[in-house]
Amino acid sequence: MLLDPNHLTALSAILRHGSFDAAASELAVTPSAVSQRIKALEDLVGATLINRGTPCTGTPMGLRIAQHAEDIGLLETHLARELTLDQTNGPARVRVAVPADVLATWFINVMSQVDGLLFDLVVDDQDHSAEWLRRGEVSAAITVGGDTVPGSDAVALGALRYIPTASPDFMRKWFADGVNVDTLSRATCLTFNRKDGLQKAWITRQTGQRLSPPSHFLPSSQGFVEAAIAGIGWGMNPENLALSALEDGRLCPLVPGAHLDVGLTWQVGRVLSTALAPMTDAVKRAANGALLPADTAD
């Protein structure tokens, strides 16, 4: 099946901006022309690709085709550089799934080292970034653990250390009798979102039991630290994000030395490995400065 590049760029632009009008503005055509391109593409594949609404969103097939279009752009840009051809279409766009804590702690360093790419970051809970790559909706992802997504190349990066932290006042209020099954089941914790299992994983490791404490849902890495400092709850914070608050006493570890190390892996679609090699190098350099070596982690 041959897909018209104009149809693909229209699809990508709509999903990027959320409307036909904004896509038309980017592409310097009329909204009617954009609509005609999408209709032609939907007729060709025999399926709806866009959920019309405010904003417009992609159907599963629409998201997969849009990612295919961006992958083509990456490969064409790489080829143009290899052949020293003039590039008139501007930088290619790369869509990457990144855990929120990775973005908050060291991924900006990666972005600063890579030229000629526009980043489209999908931020999700760390345990679920691999699903974006598995569904073909991103070109690369930083994932948890060492399992490789089929069709991808994987590089072990090291481990991100998490510390269970709370404010001194919170510790006095909820853990005066120690950190145990009883107090952990009652003390309010912080949870990034409903996919986040870090707090419960640490509780199970610490107590040997599965508990479901009351929880605030707070989808912000920096907000996690600030909420813990404010005494709203306790939570698992990346050590390098909470370090200053731990050093000056605004935060305390629930149990000294009882950290949780989470191994991270960089995975990139195999067909794009060469085109994204400079980005892979940047990821490895940044991870080397921010993560624990795998052989020293838990």
Q: What is the pLDDT of residues 21-36, one digit of tens each?
A: 998 998 899 999 999 9
Q: Is the pLDDT of residue 189 over 80?
A: yes
Instruction: Write down the pLDDT at residue 87.
Output: 56
Where is average pLDDT lowest: 79-88, 111-120, 191-200? 79-88
Q: Annotate 82-108 with b (16+ C-beta within 10 A) or e (fewer).
A: eeeeeeeeeebbbbbbbbbbbbbbbbe
Give the tokens for residue 148. Answer: 């490789």
Q: pTM of the prediction? A: 0.77
Grouping H, G, I as helix, E, B as strand and the rest as coil, residue 199 is helix
Distance from C-alpha of 131 to C-alpha of 5, rounded to nearest angstrom: 27
Rounded to 10°, the helix 60-82/31-45 angle is 100
Instruction: Write down the pLDDT at residue 287.
Output: 97
Q: Is the pLDDT of residue 146 over 90?
A: no
Q: Is the pLDDT of residue 84 over 60?
A: no
Instruction: Write down the pLDDT at residue 83.
Output: 57
Query: What does pLDDT average to over the chain?
Result: 90
Mean pLDDT, residues 229-256? 97
Identify the band that residue 142 occupies on the pLDDT scale cut at 50, 70 and 90. Answer: very high
Instruction: Write down the pLDDT at residue 201.
Output: 94
**Would you report the helix, strand and coil content of the chain in percent, each value rounded to 5?**
50, 20, 30
Instruction: Write down the pLDDT at residue 168.
Output: 98
Q: Is the pLDDT of residue 64 over 90?
A: no
Distance from C-alpha of 77 to C-alpha of 74, rounded to nearest angstrom: 5
Compute how many other C-beta atoms are within 10 angstroms of the C-beta atom of residue 206.
18
Which amino acid, residue 132?
W
Give the tokens for residue 280. Answer: 């892979």
Distance from C-alpha of 29 to C-alpha of 11, rounded to nearest angstrom: 14
Identify the band that residue 100 occupies on the pLDDT scale cut at 50, 70 and 90. Answer: very high
Instruction: Write down the pLDDT at residue 297.
Output: 65
Compute how many other C-beta atoms are within 10 angstroms of the C-beta atom of residue 188.
16
Q: Is the pLDDT of residue 242 over 60?
A: yes
